[in-house]
Chain A
């Protein structure tokens, strides 16, 4: 099979599996909604713009860790062995990455909707904010897919996933918080939006390239 066909087959399998039980998606959804609701109860709407921004991305970060952690850890050993014998490792990592990008981007939008409902929205520039959500969630998904592959190979525990993720996610989260602050009211003067968009895209490409090159080494025992 060519890489492209393997990729589509694996991606289809991911989505079908998810659609069949909807356990993970619903769990993460409730996770996000309840976190936003608890924040609303704690803050009582008296929340200023930088706090809103930081809270949004922190909730996004933790939801993302929980959502992506299962992508390799939840796979049974036997099934992973089956993939190994069947397809190119690059197709596996690309399929998982693409699936997680879709999942997290949707999660980001849902997170925003519930923020909008409960905590209000200081967003003035929706274009910039949406690009921040899409680029940021893509970055989260790409980094965390790779790290969850590492964590799953090391020891199947979620603590390791968090320990390994947080240091490497810092450059991404700093950049995305900066970018989304441009979209909020009272934000800095929009003079350098493009450079942050370019930086975010560059980080995403870098991570994708690293995952593509390095994942085959995680593969064989």
Chain B
């Protein structure tokens, strides 16, 4: 039992990640508002649809307002239809200063929900209109104390992919690093066992890399609208996979064990060092859509909130342990049935 503790931990962590990552709901947010176009001076009734919201809960009714160029425009009346639907009558003043309106809904139960650029001004802005003053907004803080994942625009439910996509890359890098260490180790003592581990680690690493690429592609399609975008991060990871596929091709091209081990180890060290340049240094010099480079903040700086962390770190550790576990099994198999 003592020997297997890390495998049990791996299973427990991944089980927890699968459950928590799937069933913890997203925090409340606004998914839709209708109509989306307004003219200055209109008084309209807006239909507002919430996502995972609780409009009919709580002690105080939700308050609704638009923010336009720093000024608040409050609803005259708010009607609650049900848990996720609201109707708010709002008068758009004649002297709006910006074309974009951000929608805010605040309630004691859900806290403040925002939909940026919720509605647009159609027609011209009237610069000569008599100036009006904005309303005072009363903001209630939520009392329920949610344990939800953040509801972010663009990402929405796909934020759960964080527990699969990012750990895949970490596991891949871990396995490639193990492969590098054993290659260096092989050159230090010419022990074929180390070469076997180096080769198997590269193979398992490629599998995790492909999974990282696939989860990333699904995510890119959802958030950026394309399966693949030309981006330093994406191209760097694709090149890394190519390099290690080349490493496997190189290994397979030779039959003599000692010679294969030595030459493959040399290429492994060579490729790993250049890949470090490609995925660590170059993305820091270029612009990128991908979080974590080129002015795009990584998840860690502001997106990775407390509730995400509680699942993300176990996920990272769990997937890395799984990678090492698969490596161990593959290594044993290769030891039993040498080619």
Residues of chain A touching chain B, judged by Cβ–Cβ distance below 8 Å, are 143, 146-147, 150, 153-155, 160, 163-164, 166-168, 170-172, 174-175, 178, 192, 195-196, 199, 202-203, 206-207, 210, 214-215, 217-218, 221
Contacts of B69 in A (CB 8 A): none
Q: Do B273 and A154 have beta carbons less than 8 Å apart?
A: no
Looking at A160, A168, A195, A214, the one whose CB has the most chain B CB atoms below 10 A away is A168
Q: How far is B254's CA from A168's CA once the two chains are assembled, in angstroms?
A: 20
Q: Do A160 and B253 have beta carbons less than 8 Å apart?
A: yes
Q: Do B254 and A167 have beta carbons less than 8 Å apart?
A: no
In angstroms, how far is the closest chain A Cβ from the Cβ of B96? 37
In angstroms, how far is the closest chain B Cβ from the Cβ of A78? 18
Instruction: List, sorted by A's number, 23 A–B pairs whose CB atoms are closer than 8 Å.
Output: A147-B270, A150-B250, A150-B263, A150-B270, A160-B249, A163-B246, A163-B249, A164-B246, A164-B267, A167-B239, A168-B275, A170-B239, A170-B242, A174-B232, A175-B282, A178-B286, A192-B285, A203-B277, A206-B277, A210-B269, A215-B266, A217-B187, A218-B262
Q: Do A210 and B254 have beta carbons less than 8 Å apart?
A: no
Whether, in the assembled complex, B259 has its beta carbon less than 8 Å from a beta carbon of chain A, the answer is yes
Q: Do B269 and A167 have beta carbons less than 8 Å apart?
A: no
Residues of chain B touching chain A, judged by Cβ–Cβ distance below 8 Å, are 187, 232, 235, 239-240, 242-243, 245-246, 249-250, 253-254, 259, 262-263, 265-267, 269-271, 273-275, 277-278, 281-282, 285-286
Q: Do B274 and A195 have beta carbons less than 8 Å apart?
A: no
Nearest residue, chain B, Cβ from A163: B246
Contacts of A146 in B (CB 8 A): 270
Apart from the given pairs A168-B243, A168-B274, A206-B274, 13 other A-B contacts in the complex at a CB distance below 8 Å: A150-B250, A150-B266, A150-B267, A155-B253, A160-B249, A163-B246, A167-B245, A168-B270, A171-B278, A171-B282, A199-B285, A217-B187, A218-B266
Nearest residue, chain A, Cβ from B270: A210
Q: How far is B240's CA from A150's CA once the two chains are assembled, in angstroms?
A: 19
Contacts of B285 in A (CB 8 A): 192, 195-196, 199
Contacts of B259 in A (CB 8 A): 153, 221
In angstroms, how far is the closest chain A Cβ from the Cβ of B64? 46
Nearest residue, chain A, Cβ from B274: A168
Q: How far is B283's CA from A170's CA once the two chains are assembled, in angstroms?
A: 13
Q: How far is B240's CA from A94's CA once the two chains are assembled, in angstroms?
A: 27
Q: How far is B27's CA from A139's CA once the two chains are assembled, in angstroms?
A: 51
Q: Do A218 and B263 have beta carbons less than 8 Å apart?
A: yes
Q: Do A166 and B242 have beta carbons less than 8 Å apart?
A: yes
Contacts of B242 in A (CB 8 A): 166-167, 170
Q: Do B271 and A167 have beta carbons less than 8 Å apart?
A: yes
Contacts of B271 in A (CB 8 A): 167-168
Contacts of B267 in A (CB 8 A): 147, 150, 164
Contacts of B278 in A (CB 8 A): 170-171, 174
Q: How far is B287's CA from A178's CA once the two chains are assembled, in angstroms?
A: 12
Q: How far is B266's CA from A203's CA once the two chains are assembled, in angstroms?
A: 17
Q: How far is B21's CA from A84's CA once the two chains are assembled, in angstroms?
A: 59
Q: Given B187, B246, B263, B265, which contacts A153 in the complex, CB threshold below 8 Å? A: B263
Q: Given B250, B265, B275, which contacts A164 in the complex, CB threshold below 8 Å? A: B250
Contacts of A163 in B (CB 8 A): 246, 249-250
Contacts of A170 in B (CB 8 A): 235, 239, 242, 278
In angstroms, how far is the closest chain B Cβ from the Cβ of A114? 29
Q: Do A214 and B269 have beta carbons less than 8 Å apart?
A: yes
Q: Given A167, A174, A202, which contacts B246 in the complex, CB threshold below 8 Å? A: A167
Q: How far is B241's CA from A168's CA once the two chains are assembled, in angstroms?
A: 11
Q: How far is B95's CA from A169's CA once the two chains are assembled, in angstroms?
A: 59
* 10 pairs of A and B residues whose beta carbons are closest in the complex: A167-B243, A171-B278, A167-B242, A170-B239, A171-B277, A168-B274, A214-B266, A163-B246, A155-B253, A164-B246
Q: How far is B240's CA from A192's CA once the two chains are assembled, in angstroms?
A: 26
Q: Given B265, B273, B282, which contacts A206 in the complex, CB threshold below 8 Å? A: B273
Q: Do A154 and B246 have beta carbons less than 8 Å apart?
A: no
Q: How far is B246's CA from A164's CA once the two chains are assembled, in angstroms?
A: 6
Q: Given B263, B274, B281, which contacts A154 in the complex, CB threshold below 8 Å? A: B263
Q: Do A217 and B266 have beta carbons less than 8 Å apart?
A: yes
Q: Do A217 and B265 have beta carbons less than 8 Å apart?
A: yes
Contacts of A150 in B (CB 8 A): 250, 263, 266-267, 270
Contacts of A166 in B (CB 8 A): 242, 246
Q: Do B250 and A154 have beta carbons less than 8 Å apart?
A: yes
Q: How far is B246's CA from A171's CA once the two chains are assembled, in angstroms?
A: 16
